[in-house]
């Protein structure tokens, strides 16, 4: 490798300090404005002010992500983080949880459920939040972790496939024979966190089965382009139109990047016994760069059609964030000039176009020309992807952020 890439940015004191400064700015941005005294958290407008103050709809994934991220803040020693964790955990338990039928509602407002569906995606984030909250000693964590684990195992898990069903109505009646990779991908992340928090191997076993289905088999059959949508028998549904924000048609390169990191993390946590995993991680990253990166203007296209052409040409913050995390893990486990150069290149685009130096936070959507846009999102509603992009490179690529922080604390 060239001399400049044999000295990774991740090992340089200035770069590490810069990453911490960016993480601290994100903590401060959301901590100062997102707290909703009526419960849960506000989404924020482009300037950082709360949206829909009177009676905002709170999505379960947003609440759970705030819990997870400020549990990380608590482990790092950021004052005020425990208050955010407590606020979010109570809202998940008292307002999102369906005390009668079981499970967790997709969205709620001040008056109760707004969308009472039980989504696998949302339950994955409840598992992540409760696992992270357990590590900081929150009193509801064990109860919620046991509750959501039971729901996932008895309602969502499909043993014949080795993955979860997508969604149910509030009364647990089936909505449609649809399977989505996104909910299973985030469950893989949450299952690893639960394994780290409890030491129970059953969580890791499920994560390995999901990865085997979606990446080794399905993505492997498709040149390591991750299909998003499947029918009831886990056959790819190329005609699925879905929802532009959560279920865009075609393929989504940002998820290839996310899986690249998660597969390497799973490989490391599982004792490096599955030889296919690092090869798959490398292939997923390479495909995302080859097909998903805009070579003229920079940034990752949001989604591609089945001819590998951009469908929605806008650039979102979360694929760039996941690109950083994937590159950091690959630089650790498969070091190369290619991975180091792309780690730097993605950060160049984030720093120049996504970070909002004037108002704080990160722009969540940019046009093809890398200008701020708000057609998909009303402002800045999520800390999760950007924060992890800033912190993942600072810790060993052997597990989740929480595990890495705890290991550093123990070493001292």
Rounded mean pLDDT of 230-258?
A: 91
Give alpha helix (H) positions in 77-180: 81-91, 120-135, 141-151
Helices (H), 251-372: 253-269, 276-287, 317-333, 337-349
Work out the percent of the chain whose per-residue pLDDT is above 90. Answer: 93
Read out DSSP for 173-198? Answer: -B--S-EEHHHHHHHHHHHHHHHHHH
Q: For the structural domain made of 3-411, what CATH number should be given?
A: 1.50.10.10
255 tagged catalytic:
yes
**Averaged pLDDT, 161-166:** 98
Find the helix or strand (DSSP H, E) in which 30 lies.
helix 13-33
Please name the residues in contact with 70: beta carbons below 8 A apart, sequence gap of 6 or more.
Answer: 27, 31, 78, 81, 82, 84, 85, 88
CB 44 within 8 A of CB 105: no
Give residue 244's pLDDT band: very low, low, confident or very high (50, 70, 90). Answer: confident
Q: What is the DSSP letter of 49?
A: P
Which positions ≥6 away from 282 have C-beta within 8 Å? 260, 330, 334
Catalytic residue, chosen from 255, 333, 339, 363, is 255
Cα–Cα distances in Å, from 133 out to 71, 137, 361?
6, 6, 24
Once rounded to an integer, what is the mean pLDDT over residues 87-116? 98
Read off the pLDDT of each residue in 251-275 and give the average, rounded to a whole number: 97
Q: Does the annotation mark 385 as catalytic?
A: yes
279-283-288 Cα angle (round to 5): 155
Quote the pTM value.
0.97
Q: What is the pLDDT of residue 2?
A: 56
Largest interatomic CA distance in the chain: 62
Question: Span 385-396, mean pLDDT?
Answer: 97
Query: Can you give the pLDDT at residue 243?
Result: 79
> What pLDDT, on a 0 to 100 scale, did the predictor assign at position 246?
79
- Inter-CA distances, 297 with 134, 293, 344, 349, 352, Å: 43, 9, 16, 10, 12
Domain-by-domain residue ranges, the chain?
3-411
Cα distance between residue 159 and residue 386, in whole Å: 34
DSSP assigned state of 95:
I
At 33, is the pLDDT very low, low, confident or very high (cuts 50, 70, 90)? very high
pLDDT tens across 80-100, in order? 999 999 999 999 999 999 999
The confidence score (pLDDT) of residue 1 equals 47
Q: Output Rg (C-alpha) for the chain, integer angstroms.
A: 20
Contacting residues for 324 by C-beta, under 8 A, at least 6 apart = 343, 346, 347, 350, 389, 392, 393
Q: Which residues of 88-114 are buried (b: 16+ CB within 10 A; e: fewer)?
A: bbebbbebbbbeeeebbbbbbbeeeee
Residue 3 has pLDDT above 60, yes or no: no
């Amino acid at each position: 490798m060239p001399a400049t890439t044999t000295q990774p940015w991740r090992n340089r004191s200035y770069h590490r300090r810069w990453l911490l400064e960016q993480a601290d700015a994100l903590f401060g941005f959301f901590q100062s404005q997102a707290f909703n005294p009526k419960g849960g958290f506000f989404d924020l407008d482009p300037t950082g002010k709360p949206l829909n103050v009177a009676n905002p709809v709170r999505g379960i994934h947003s609440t759970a992500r705030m819990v997870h991220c400020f549990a990380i803040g608590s482990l790092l020693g950021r004052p005020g983080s425990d208050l955010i964790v407590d606020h979010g955990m109570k809202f998940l338990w008292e307002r999102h949880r369906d005390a009668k039928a079981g499970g967790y509602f997709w969205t709620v407002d001040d008056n109760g459920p707004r969308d009472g569906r039980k989504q696998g995606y949302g339950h994955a984030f409840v598992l992540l939040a409760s696992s992270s909250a357990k590590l900081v000693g929150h009193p509801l964590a064990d109860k919620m972790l046991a509750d959501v684990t039971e729901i996932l195992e008895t309602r969502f898990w499909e043993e014949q496939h080795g993955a979860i069903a997508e969604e149910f109505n509030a009364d647990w009646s089936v909505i449609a024979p649809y399977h989505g990779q996104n909910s299973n991908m985030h469950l893989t992340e949450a299952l690893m966190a639960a394994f780290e928090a409890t030491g129970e191997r059953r969580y890791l076993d499920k994560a390995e089965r999901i990865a085997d289905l979606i990446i080794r088999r399905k993505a492997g059959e498709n040149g390591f382009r991750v299909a998003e949508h499947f029918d009831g028998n886990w056959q790819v549904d190329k005609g699925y139109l879905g929802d532009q924000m959560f279920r865009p048609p075609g393929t989504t390169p940002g998820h290839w990047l996310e899986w690249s990191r998660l597969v390497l993390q799973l490989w490391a946590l599982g004792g490096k016994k599955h030889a296919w995993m690092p090869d798959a991680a490398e292939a997923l990253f390479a495909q995302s760069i080859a097909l998903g990166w805009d070579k003229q203007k920079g940034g990752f296209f949001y989604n591609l059609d089945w001819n590998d052409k951009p469908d929605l040409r806008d650039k979102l913050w979360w694929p760039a964030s996941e690109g950083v995390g994937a590159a950091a893990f690959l630089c650790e486990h498969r070091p190369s000039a290619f991975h180091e150069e792309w780690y730097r290149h993605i950060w160049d685009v984030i720093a120049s176009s996504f970070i909002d130096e004037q108002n704080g936070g990160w722009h969540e959507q940019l046009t093809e020309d890398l200008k701020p846009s708000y057609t998909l999102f009303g402002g800045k509603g999520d800390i999760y992807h950007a924060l992890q992009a800033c912190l993942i490179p600072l810790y060993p690529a052997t597990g989740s952020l929480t595990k890495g922080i705890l290991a550093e604390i123990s070493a001292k």
